[in-house]
Structure 1
Amino acid sequence: MLKFNRTYFILSVVLLAIEIIIALYAHDAYIRPFVGDFFVVMLIYCFIRSFAGYNVNRTLIGVLLFAYVLEVLQYFHIVNLLGLQDVAAARVIIGTYFAWTDMLMYTLGVLLVWLIERRLKRV
């Protein structure tokens, strides 16, 4: 199952760079709250596929469920419960507030990846 895939790795590096740029420079009402969430599931998917040749559908479902669980944990203020409220990286990576729009953006991001993979006939 473990096999390095350079294409997915390069995609994950590019997506990580985009996420970092968004986190550092996008302080608006659209790109940061929506585009970042849209791309983060793609980043996680590509990173997993960089090292493991798991089934596309199962990987996408796993990534989506992971994102959903993290979002629900934000509803319960997991950063505060873990005592990480003063750790900027924890607040950025884990998040600090629940939003239904985040769930929508995760879903749309996974759907786009699924459509691309289907088009490339990997599904």
Structure 2
Amino acid sequence: MILRSKRLLYIIGFVILLGIETAIATYLKTGFIRANLGDFLVVILLYCLLMACSNISVKTGLFMTLAISFLIELLQLVNLPQYIPEEYKNVATLVFGSHFSWLDLLMYVLGIVLVWGIENFKAPLITNP
């Protein structure tokens, strides 16, 4: 079970990362930050959302976040947005992406590794005041 005070940290992390991801999507159209750092941060954002909204364990949360991220990336192989009605294509492309990349999968794994490290090495400081 996730402590109530820790759930607030997940919500704060989600809001901050959502702001960063929105800024990246709005102001950067190309480059390392848009292509790679955004993917690195999005798995952390997804993890924070998942943990803020559920009572699952850290291990389950990490696995589910990585599985969802990999599934979305693999769906890019079939170009999912092409099957979405035209009026929703921009949103579908934003959510599902537009092209598959092995580097994106690596960024997801690195993001999950960072979260795992934070959860394992910082959690005792947060849960034991």
- TM-score of the pair, normalised by structure 2: 0.86
**Mapping for residues 1-123 of structure 1, pairs under 5 Å:** 5-84=7-86, 87-121=89-123
> How many pairs align?
122
Structure-2 change in CA distance of 1:49 and 1:79 (3 Å): same
How far 1:121 moved relative to its partner?
Answer: 4.1
The answer to whether the 8 A contact 1:79-1:85 is kept is no
In structure 1, C-alpha distance between the alignment counterparts of 2:2 and 2:114, rounded to whole Å: 25
**What percent identity do the matched residue pairs reach?**
34
How far 1:27 moved relative to its partner?
Answer: 1.9
How far 1:89 moved relative to its partner?
Answer: 1.8
**Partner secondary structure for residue 87 of structure 1:** helix
- TM-score of the pair, normalised by structure 1: 0.90
Q: What 5-or-longer segments of structure 2 have no aligned partner? A: 125-129
Q: What 5-or-longer segments of structure 1 have no aligned partner? A: none
In structure 2, C-alpha distance between the alignment counterparts of 1:74 and 1:103, rounded to whole Å: 12
Structure-2 change in CA distance of 1:2 and 1:109 (3 Å): closer
In structure 2, C-alpha distance between the alignment counterparts of 1:99 and 1:106, rounded to whole Å: 11
- Between structure 1 and structure 2, the one with the greater Rg is 2
The answer to whether the 8 A contact 2:82-2:89 is kept is no
2:103 maps to amino acid: T
1:13-70 deviation digits (Å, cap 9, x = unpaired): 0000000000001123200010110000000100111122211011111100111011
Q: What CA RMSD, in Å, does the superposition of the two structures yield over aligned residues?
A: 1.9
